[in-house]
């Protein structure tokens, strides 16, 4: 008679182990899926940020640009002649060396990435009355 109880208890123990093991397996599988979805949702999508400034006969258009840090500014020359983008202060251009982009021909482009917050003033070295400002927030 003891063997019957022993076999019955053993069978019950096996059933409990299978049920609990199955429950834990399904729970872990669900958590993995939820974690994967959260990871996917929480990762930011990196966007390319670019702003265009046109060089015209009368100067930079727009003359003042407000951007976020990490934005690329592209200057497009539509002035009909060569132009430059140079850091202030004319004529030495010493404030921001990365902004001394130099001479570029009509119908061509030059660019710079603005990584740090601040106010950056520049000019056309070939026509110093043409000035521009980039405000990085």
Binning pLDDT at 50, 70 and 90, where does residue 31 land?
very low
What's the pLDDT at 33? 43
Mean of all residue pLDDT scores within the chain? 83
What's the pLDDT at 30? 44
Per-residue pLDDT tens digits for 72-130: 999 999 999 999 999 999 999 999 999 999 999 999 999 999 999 999 999 999 999 99
Per-residue pLDDT tens digits for 45-76: 555 599 999 999 999 999 999 999 999 999 99
Quote the pTM value.
Answer: 0.65
C-alpha triplet 127, 72, 93: angle, nearest 5° = 35
CA distances from residue 137 to 26, 65, 86, 114 in whole angstroms, order as listed: 48, 11, 21, 10
Binning pLDDT at 50, 70 and 90, where does residue 39 land?
very low
Token pair 């429950």 in the structure block, residue: 23
What's the pLDDT at 75? 98
**Are the C-beta atoms of residues 125 and 86 closer than 8 Å to each other?**
yes
What's the pLDDT at 27? 57
What's the pLDDT at 18? 75
DSSP 81: S
3-state SS, 20-78, equals HHHHHHHHHHHHHHHHHHHHHHHCCCCCCCEEEEEEECCEEECCEEEECCCEEEEEEEC
**Are the C-beta atoms of residues 123 and 130 closer than 8 Å to each other?**
yes
């Amino acid at each position: 008679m003891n063997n019957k109880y022993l076999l019955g208890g053993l069978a019950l123990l096996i059933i409990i182990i299978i049920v609990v093991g199955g429950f834990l397996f399904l729970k872990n599988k669900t958590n993995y899926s939820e974690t994967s979805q959260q990871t996917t949702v929480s990762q930011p999508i990196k966007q390319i940020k670019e702003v265009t400034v046109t060089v015209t006969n009368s100067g930079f258009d727009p003359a003042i640009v407000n951007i976020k840090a990490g934005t690329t500014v592209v200057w497009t020359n539509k002035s009909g002649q060569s132009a430059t983008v140079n850091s202030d202060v004319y004529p030495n251009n010493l404030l921001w060396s990365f902004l001394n982009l130099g001479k570029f021909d009509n119908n061509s482009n030059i660019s710079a990435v603005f990584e740090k917050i601040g106010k950056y003033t520049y000019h056309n070295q070939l026509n110093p009355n043409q000035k521009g400002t980039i405000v990085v927030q």
